Homo-oligomer: A and B are copies of this chain.
Amino acid sequence: MRAEILSIGTEIMFGEITDTNAAYIASALPEYGIDLLWVTQVGDNPGRLREAFARAWERSEYIFCTGGLGPTEDDITRETIAEMLGEAMFVDADQERVLRALFEARGVREMPARNIKQAKLIPSARAIPNPRGTAPGWWVERDGPAGEKRVIAVMPGPPAEMHHMWDAEVAPELERRADSILVARTLKTTGIGEAAIDEMLSPLLAGTNPSIGIYARADGVSARIAAKARTREEAWALIRPVEEQARRILGHAIWGIDDDSLASGVGRMLRDQGLTLGLMESASGGAIADAITDIEGASDYFKGSLVTYWTEVKVAMGVPAEVPARHGVISRETAEAMATAARERLGTDLGLAVTGIAGAEPIEGQPSGTMHLALFDGTRMEYTTFRYFQGREQSKRRIVLQALTMLRRYLMERAASGK
């Protein structure tokens, strides 16, 4: 099945917003055996929108489009489709009821007259419910060129509305229609190179269903086991025995699966090992704590972070004043004293600390991007240093990556040693 995406909106053409809807849809399509061949972004312009729809109708069996469903005259996605198909738009009584109820629920006595266009349909379209906004989607189904079937799925532009409509309505419909379903399990590893993993898994690599792909990413090497079958359940049944074998082979090198981020993988290991974590952050300015607390349930193992941006605050939080005075604030010694202090002040099993230079200006004669990280468990002190500078925000993101990588290694070694 060939698909294309139309992302519609003049604000996209001015770069005022970045279209993320297309990537959201694109990443979901392989599951249903649908090949995405084109993505077109176009403004709310009648001529160009007509051209884009006509070309899509000619070449693609599925057209997913987002945007241009607002109540104003600029929004012409519905009108353009109706015109292309030669169908008249009409106000659907059910949709009008839904829309008026929605305004009432929001405390608006009289729905603005212009919103009535959001209740319109054409004979080939059915409405797709949108509980998060006023614009329902359209599911259009008709015969296309050369006797092929055509589907146009029209969704609103705001990502929160679009994602909800996709997950609740469009994706399940695609699953019902799919001849086969592709599912995948990704095993995320660290500490072993891409080539070594390829060799270790070579007994499993011969098969084509499931197939295994090996990918190197920023957070380690991943093995992706993918299977295709008539149903989701059958596909998982194909994956399961291969996954078990791969897990046996890779063992402790695995730190997470599927969409696990470093923060969620580290969080699961902390919880499994019954450990609590406290931070003292300087250069990262709270970014490590922010990443860790993005994970639901982080309060099970994360007690807090002392963001000690000023040296006097580091000292107030337990770093002996003579350490930065003698060795410099940007030093291994200060990082280690911070890790020790974090653990003590926050009463945690582990203390992790970072001091360094995220800004563009050198400090204490050390260049931008210099970072010192320390991790203390009450017995063992781990330390690492690196230098990375691609602007302030990128540098902060790199510290987060390195800090979580350090924690991950510590926790995996601890698990492997059976402590």
Chain A interface (Cβ < 8 Å from any Cβ of B) = 12-20, 22-30, 36-43, 45, 48, 160, 279, 281, 284-290, 292-294, 296-299, 302-310, 312-313, 316, 345-347, 358-360, 390, 392-393, 396
How many copies the complex holds: the figure is 2
Interfacial chain B residues near A27, Cβ < 8 Å:
14-16
Q: In the complex, are the beta carbons of A24 and B15 less than 8 A apart?
A: yes
Known pairs A160-B390, A286-B305, A289-B289 / 4 extra A-B pairs, C-beta < 8 Å? A37-B48, A296-B359, A313-B346, A316-B347
A30–B15 Cα distance when bound, in Å, is: 10
Q: In the complex, are the beta carbons of B309 and A299 less than 8 A apart?
A: yes
Q: In the complex, are the beta carbons of A304 and B304 less than 8 A apart?
A: no
Least CB distance from A49 to B in Å reads 11
Q: Which residue of B lies closest to A160 (CB)?
A: B390
Given A12-B23, A289-B285, A316-B345, are A303 and B309 neighbors across the interface (CB < 8 Å)? yes
Contact of A310 among B23, B26, B303 (CB under 8 A): B303
Interfacial chain B residues near A307, Cβ < 8 Å:
279, 286, 289, 293, 304-307
Q: Which residue of B lies closest to A282 (CB)?
A: B304
3 tightest A-B contacts by CB? A285-B293, A15-B27, A286-B289
Interfacial chain B residues near A309, Cβ < 8 Å:
289, 293, 298-299, 302-305
A27–B23 Cα distance when bound, in Å, is: 20
Given A20-B18, A48-B38, are A304 and B296 neighbors across the interface (CB < 8 Å)? no
A17, A41, A310, A313: which has the most chain B beta carbons within 10 Å?
A: A41
Interfacial chain B residues near A392, Cβ < 8 Å:
294, 296
Complex A-B: 19 CB contacts under 8 Å: A12-B26, A14-B36, A16-B27, A18-B18, A18-B20, A38-B41, A39-B40, A39-B42, A40-B41, A281-B286, A286-B289, A286-B293, A293-B309, A293-B396, A297-B359, A303-B312, A304-B306, A304-B309, A313-B347
